């Protein structure tokens, strides 16, 4: 086996070193909290929840390059959530390009780390401006926030309406008028969007993701995900995750 390949022995050794150095990967909720507030355009919440990339693994043995790689991943996720929050996608991509170019010019890991709060604040401010420009009825804005807070648990529109002090029938009608889809369809799409990010950027298994996002079963999760994306969760991860892309690149290199 080639020296560069991942083996069980290497993984076990890495786990030992991480325990010896009191290293731990951040939980998924920790890593994603600031992106949730970014999507809502909440600068104060995003900064309070900002989780620096200390516990997200080592992508390079060179400290500067490692921070640059981690920052690129951070900006990529920020761009996704900014678009979901209402920022026009071409503007989001332009912001992403500028910050990645800025990180590339940094001479020290500390300089790269200083870009995290700056980029987070700028993305979040632009989302807030975009949300104000596209005014949605206040009850629906609160409804969307409640949905995001409850994605990890089973709930119905009656539960959201009760939390907002609204009549469920009124909320259902208003939601369809403002959002252009039913409450149920929106919740399903948000869960699938979250599942996509978890498949791409976390190590949770498909079964764990189904449980975390309150799908009634893994088979139901598989069906819903395939209907929304055209791929099974496993195929989506294999095709698009960093791990999957690396496997594809390795396979292509072996054929050269």
Same domain for 195 and 211, yes or no, is yes
**Per-residue pLDDT, 203:** 84
Please state the pTM of the whole predicted model.
Answer: 0.53
Q: Which residue carries 């055209």 as its tokens?
A: 230
Asked if residue 209 is part of any domain, the answer here is yes
Q: Which domain holds residue 124?
A: 26-133
- Taken as a whole, the chain contains a residue count of 256
**Is residue 215 domain-shared with residue 145, that is, in the same domain?**
yes
Are residues 59 and 155 both part of a single domain?
no
Specify whether 121 is located in the same domain as 143: no
163-179 pLDDT, tens digit per residue, is: 999 999 999 999 998 88
How many domains in the chain?
2
Task: Look at the block and give the residue holding tokens 């929106």.
Answer: 186
Q: The tokens 């799409």 sit on which residue?
A: 189
Cα separation, 140 vs 119, in Å, equals 28
Instruction: Tell me, yes or no, whether 151 lies in a domain.
Output: yes
Q: Does residue 129 lie within any of the structural domains? A: yes
Residue 152 has pLDDT above 50, yes or no: yes
At residue 48 the predicted structure's pLDDT band, cuts being 50, 70 and 90, is: confident
129 and 142 fall within a common domain: no
**Counting beta carbons within 10 angstroms of the beta carbon of residue 225, is it exposed (0 to 12), middle (13 to 18) or buried (19 or more)?**
buried
Task: State whether 142 and 249 are in the same domain.
Answer: yes
Closest by alpha carbon to 212, among 151, 162, 135, 141? 151
């Amino acid at each position: 086996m080639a020296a560069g390949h991942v083996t069980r022995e290497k993984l076990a050794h890495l786990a030992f070193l991480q325990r010896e150095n009191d290293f731990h990967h951040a939980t998924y909720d920790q890593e994603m909290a600031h992106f949730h507030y970014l999507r809502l355009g909440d600068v104060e919440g995003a900064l309070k929840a900002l989780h620096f990339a200390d516990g997200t693994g080592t992508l390079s043995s060179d400290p500067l390059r490692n921070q640059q790689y981690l920052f690129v991943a951070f900006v990529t996720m920020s761009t996704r959530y900014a678009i979901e929050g209402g920022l026009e996608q071409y503007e989001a991509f332009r912001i992403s390009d500028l910050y990645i170019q800025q990180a590339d010019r940094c001479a020290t890991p500390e300089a790269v780390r200083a870009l995290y709060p700056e980029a987070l604040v700028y993305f979040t401010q632009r989302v807030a401006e975009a949300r104000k420009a596209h005014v949605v009825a206040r009850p629906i804005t609160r409804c969307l926030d409640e949905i995001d807070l409850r994605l990890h648990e089973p709930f119905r529109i009656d539960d959201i309406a009760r939390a907002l002090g609204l009549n469920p029938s009124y909320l259902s009608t208003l939601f369809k008028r403002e959002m252009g889809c039913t409450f149920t369809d929106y919740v399903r799409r948000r869960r699938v969007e979250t599942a996509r990010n978890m498949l791409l950027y976390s190590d949770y298994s498909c079964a764990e993701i189904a449980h975390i996002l309150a799908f009634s079963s893994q088979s139901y999760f598989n069906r819903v995900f395939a209907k929304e994306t055209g791929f099974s969760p496993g195929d989506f991860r294999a095709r698009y995750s960093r791990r999957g892309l690396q496997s594809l690149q390795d396979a292509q290199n072996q054929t050269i």
